[in-house]
Amino acid sequence: MNPHLSYNRPQQTIASTVIVTGFGFWSGVDVTLEFRPAPTETGLVFLRTEDGQEVLIPVDVQYRQEVPRRTNLLTNGAHVDMVEHVVAALAGLQIDNCFIWASRSEMPGVDGSSMPFVDALLHAGIVPQENMRPALTIESTIRVVDNDAWIEVRPPKTAATMSLSYQLDYGNESPITPQTFSIDVCPASFQRELATARTFVLQSEADQMQASGRGLRVTTADLLVFDENGPVDNSLRFEDECVRHKALDMVGDLALAGVDLYGDFEAYHTGHRLNAELVRQILCQHKLSNTLAECA
């Protein structure tokens, strides 16, 4: 038994299978997700069918594939794309064991937030299981830096708590104003403060992506697109919706640890890559990594 771990709550799964449909924002391809109950100690596992064989893709940082602007997982020749909003919904609700079957590799973008997945999972019902969920309490500060972007975690001020703080600042010329948001994450606060916050992009970035053949099916009704005057053909759900979405992404990325994390997380201008690198360093420092390569 790892001396760094504690066990404070029962593991949980869903009571019944539930389906979410939509299309992938990047590919434009229709996709069906099935969230299925899973036995204790399973973890969160995506299921894909490749060459007639079902392939299991665990939600684990060692399977993360480096791609821009999203979190992808790859193992055994199969991959799943843009999983962060799905995983954030599961982690935010403290659903620890679940199979997620996907008809295509890219997750449905739905409204650009985690709320459609949260609604489906709540409809399925959440049930406790026999075994206890492992949790890791951060014991010393760990910091990851890349130019002006950084993310760090410190020992928690409040026991058995994951606290997130994110600073977003794209400069004075950006239509997205500087924003800071902090939250102690639990199922209630996740649903109330984070789950409905949508992904966002600048109009210039959206134009570039569509010019390269990506995101051709996405409209300004599907996510937040900002031009120089603010959101295009859309309205904000929160005045600081952009920074809340960054915190939502952190919840999804930090779930790649496979255990509950208790600590005070603070980030500036970070994205999926740095979030995942922090997870790797946390697991290595506390001797929880599944592979030696992760700690090289």
Q: How many CB atoms lie within 10 A of CB 82?
A: 22
Active site residue 4: no
Say which of 79, 245, 272, 286 is annotated catalytic: 272
Cα three-residue angle 270-272-67, rounded to 5 degrees:
130
Three-state SS for 61? helix
Q: Which two tokens stand for residue 42?
A: 């399973």
Nearest C-alpha neighbor of 132 from the set 108, 102, 97 = 97
* Residue 200: CA count within 13 A, CB half-sphere: 30
CA distances from 262 to 36, 80, 157 (A): 27, 27, 10
Q: Is 279 helix (H, G, I), strand (E, B) or coil?
A: helix
* Active-site annotation, residues: 272
